[in-house]
A and B are shown apart, each in its own frame.
Chain A
Amino acid sequence: MFRYVLRNMWRRKARTFLTVFGIVVGIFALTVLGALSARLNQQVKGAEAWFTSKISVVPSGSSLFGGSEGYLELSKVDEIEAVPGVKSAVAGFGLTLGEESIGFGAPELIVGAELEKAGDLLSLIELNRGRLLQMGDERKAVLGSTLAEKFEAGPGDTVELRGKDFEVVGVYEPTLSAPDGFAFVSYEDALNLFREANPYFEVRDIAATIDVIPQPGVDMEELAARIAESVPGVKVISPAEAEKQISQFSLIFNAILLGIGFIALVVGGLSIVNTMIMSVSERTQEIGLKKAIGAETGSVLGEYLLESAMIGFFGGLVGMLLGLLAVALLNRATASSNVAVFTVTATVVVGPVVFATLLGTAAGIFPALRAARLKPIEALKED
């Protein structure tokens, strides 16, 4: 049966090829975008863990991701700490690692935190080796996993951050998200680096974000509302808010993916329908002959469904493989800057092929039914 169907497909090589090619293009796009989305979802998941276990206070007008349009006065830290239920408020400072900002994904950041109070915050991520930053650390850094890999540095090594030497004291476990690209330093070190880069900036003590660690047992959402109420001029991002922003971000992406999938569905599906209708009509006599010599309706139906499912399957397989190839090449091209843009998961590999096969089968239903319902003698007489 398989061989027979293959031979029938081979009979109209050009047409079969073009139809399969149509599916290949759609599935290729779907695979590449799927890998992109898988990577983003992975980052988003990791980011969620980081952002949703604390309350972030940022300058009013900025969001979780677009952090640097303004700065907070350091006096806000005391105001926040005065709010009941707050265990500690930690001033933080983030600046990009390199002068250039990297296009895709989470940027590599130097994150400064007030070490006197940042213990809880810095231990949100598991340490892989070395130690956490401690009070009084100067020109010391704990690196996120990706960054450690990039610098090929471990505890005891020296790395250069914005032209200044820092001693690495610890390396975090991978979180597969933004903090992997962070170099954690003390607040003062970060501020100094910032001042050096912006010599004309008014010299005063500022923070980009203030991270709030709640007292045990305090409801984070209620606390966030309380802070927003009692501290003017700030924007409070509660865990729920953070989750919303993050999921909105991934929602847009998944919507794009869905859109591409839908286009692939319509274009690919219609071209399969078209091809199958042509196959059925040019083989009307053959169908008649088969039914005349005893083929069951179901066997004719199955044969044509198999043909269209195979068009879908081949298109899906080739499209997916090409997609994986493209993803591998693109990932290699960006490997030097240590940003993996794509992640290949089981869903990315299996999903598009299953999707294309189902699409092919569904597209074949109508033509196959038409073939199966032909009356033997009328079909046989047609030319």
Chain B
Amino acid sequence: MIVASGLRKIYRVGSMEIKAVDGLDIFIEAGEFLSIVGPSGSGKTTLLHLLGLLDAPTSGSISIDGMDTAALSPKQLTRLRREKIGFVFQEFNLLPVLNARENVELPLRYLKVPAEERRRRALRALEMVSLTDRADNRPGQLSGGEQQRVAIARALVTEPVLVLADEPTGELDTYNTCKVIELMRDLNRDTGQTFAIVTHDPMVADYTRRIVSLRDGRIASDSAGPEAALECDAGAGDIR
């Protein structure tokens, strides 16, 4: 489904060259459930942005379903993102003036979904992350973990074929991390949506079917994950 080859992203800061992604080949099939791990600064976020067509590589190519994305105009790229990709960003995710439901509705708005349906789908997405009761709260009134779950609901609400999530569980406790991964795995199994999850958390990686490990902008290892069984226990201790 996604084929990236010879992918490079070089940042120039003054006279310095930072090779955030440095000659990387990756093939992601439709319906995969994979995690991307690696030390801080290894290029995980950069790779995710490239795969999500948010950023153009310095060199190399990305093709989606056999179509070379380099040939697409910014307008076409926007459309592709809007229709096929759901994002959870590492840092800035929600608009502060919109409440949780309105934030989740936003991508549907760009897809010109009628208001009534938008509302219904947004509430359903919030239900998936157990936040129905916080639908009317603005991000400032939510905890970090709750905000992250709202962002996840927003990424899922359009039912995109590809979900790219950058540290989606970074702010969550063990129980909620487990619930989120369970949700994603269920969706992956039931709808065939592709998930690529960047994570620092070995437990999260262990739940996935494939683990891509980055180092210095390259793939250090690419192996099958254990796809550990999930058992989310609300009472479980949270000391890790």
Contact = CB atoms under 8 A, between A and B. Distances in A.
Interface string A368-383: 0000000011001000
A365 B5 CA distance: 41
Interface in A1-26: 4, 7-8, 11
B75 A293 contact: no
Contacts of A285: 92
B95 A293 contact: no
Contact of A11 (B82, B92, B97): B97
Nearest to A298: B75
Nearest to B102: A4
B54 interface: yes
A4 B97 contact: yes
B111 interface: yes
B26 to A, nearest CB: 19
Nearest to B107: A293
Nearest to A1: B109
B195 interface: no
A290 interface: yes
A8 B110 CA distance: 19
A103 interface: no
B115 to A, nearest CB: 12
B149 to A, nearest CB: 17
Contacts of B75: 296-297
A259 B74 CA distance: 45
B95 A294 contact: no
Contacts of B33: none
Interface residues on B, range: 20 to 34
Contacts of B102: 4
A376 B87 CA distance: 13
A289 B81 contact: no
B63 interface: no
B95 A286 contact: yes
Given A377-B54, A377-B55, A294 B82 contact: yes
A380 B81 contact: no
B78 A289 contact: no
B207 interface: no
Most buried by B among A4, A11, A289, A290: A289
Interface in A339-383: 376-377, 380
Contacts of A292: 52, 54, 81, 87, 89
Nearest to A5: B97
Contacts of A380: 54, 89, 92
B206 to A, nearest CB: 29
Contacts of B78: 291, 294-297
Given A285-B92, A377-B54, A380-B92, A293 B97 contact: no
B110 A289 contact: no
Contacts of A376: 54
A294 B92 contact: no
A123 interface: no
Contact of A294 (B49, B55, B111): B111
Contacts of B93: 289
Nearest to A10: B97
B161 interface: no
Contacts of B92: 285-286, 288-289, 380
B98 interface: yes
B4 interface: no
B49 A293 contact: no
Interface string B71-91: 000110011011100010100
A297 B49 CA distance: 19
Contact of B110 (A11, A286, A294): A294
B81 A294 contact: yes
B107 A294 contact: yes
A62 interface: no
A292 B94 CA distance: 12
A293 B55 contact: no
A380 B95 CA distance: 12
Nearest to B155: A293
B122 interface: no
Interface of B: 49, 52, 54-55, 74-75, 78-79, 81-83, 87, 89, 92-98, 102, 106-107, 110-111, 154
Interface of A: 4, 7-8, 11, 285-286, 288-297, 299, 376-377, 380
The 6 closest A-B CB pairs, nearest first, are A294-B82, A294-B110, A7-B97, A377-B55, A377-B54, A285-B92
22 contacts: A4-B98, A4-B102, A7-B97, A11-B97, A286-B95, A286-B96, A288-B92, A289-B89, A290-B106, A292-B52, A292-B89, A293-B81, A293-B87, A294-B78, A294-B79, A294-B107, A295-B78, A295-B110, A297-B74, A299-B110, A376-B54, A377-B54
